[in-house]
Amino acid sequence: MLDNSINHDVATKLREVADILEQQGANPFRIRAYRRAAETVTHLEADLPDLLEQGGIDALIELPNIGRGIATAIAEILATGRWAQLERLRGSLDPVKRLQSVAGIGPKLAQRIHDELHIDTLEGLELAAHDGRLEELEGVGVRRATSISATVENMLDRVRSSRHNQDENGPSVEMLLDVDREYREKFTALFSNTARAHELGHTHDWVVIYHYNDHQEEGQHTVVTETHGAMIGQRVVRGLEIECRALWENNN
């Protein structure tokens, strides 16, 4: 028996992403892609969970207007009831909870790392551990910082390994920073419009760059002005701080 409620929930989420992107002035192609996918799901005469169980991601890709990127998103929604990309667009991902995913970092320390070091990604935490800012935070010290650094490095190594094939056709750090510079000078791209950007007054500093690989899977990076550490005042790609620092050092 067809369970329209599940399909309806997925279609609703796809339309919400399209609506938010439209409000942000995003690429019309991306907006249409999500809306067409939502129409496909709305009129689908089969349960999405059944399709996924029987044929995996490929069964979803075979549907009209469903590429690999959107199929992966649908699988995420079906498995967890959530969609990280939508939550990012809503500005509802909590960076403090993300920091708490690291063994040895409880709620209070995560909040202090976020508030005092202005870190909201694991990559930023990794960089702070490397440049000494983490160990200088009251209550951390060298031993605890070293332990946290090792844990974060292992976590990120797994993430980087799993996303290697997806990102192999993506842009380099140098290209991302060039696009960021071009955008801010010529107004050809998209400033961040998340709640967090508004909260911190960075809506005209944070630049979101979207890209697609050969499979039409969407990727995105946010470029910001670094406010702490050795690269203060420099433009950096969030999540790729280590690579940005290497590029910056090579150019200086």
Q: What is the pLDDT of residue 187?
A: 38
Residue of 41, 55, 47 lying closest to 2 (CA atoms): 47
pTM over 0.85: no
∠ at Cα 208 (185, 170), nearest 5°? 105
Say if residue 93's pLDDT is above 70.
Answer: no
Q: What is the dihedral of CA 190, 194, 199, 203, to 10 degrees?
A: 0
| Beta sheet of 207-212, edge-to-edge order | 190-191, 207-212, 218-225, 235-237
Q: How confident is the model at residue 221 (pLDDT cuts 50, 70, 90)?
A: confident
Q: What is the pLDDT of residue 1?
A: 47
Structure tokens at 12: 């609703």
Cβ contacts of 175 within 8 Å, gap of 6 or more? none
CB burial class (10 A; 0-12, 13-18, 19+) of residue 118?
middle
Domains by residue range for the chain, with CATH: 4-90 (1.10.150.110), 95-162 (1.10.150.20), 169-250 (no CATH)
Distance CA(70)–CA(68), nearest Å, equals: 6
Segment 40-76, tens digit of pLDDT: 999 998 999 999 999 998 999 999 999 888 998 899 8
Which of 26-30, 89-93, 241-245, 246-250 comes out lowest in average pLDDT?
89-93
Residue of 26, 41, 30, 33 lying closest to 75 (CA atoms): 41
Segment 101-128, tens digit of pLDDT: 788 888 899 999 988 888 877 778 888 8
Q: What is the pLDDT of residue 11?
A: 94
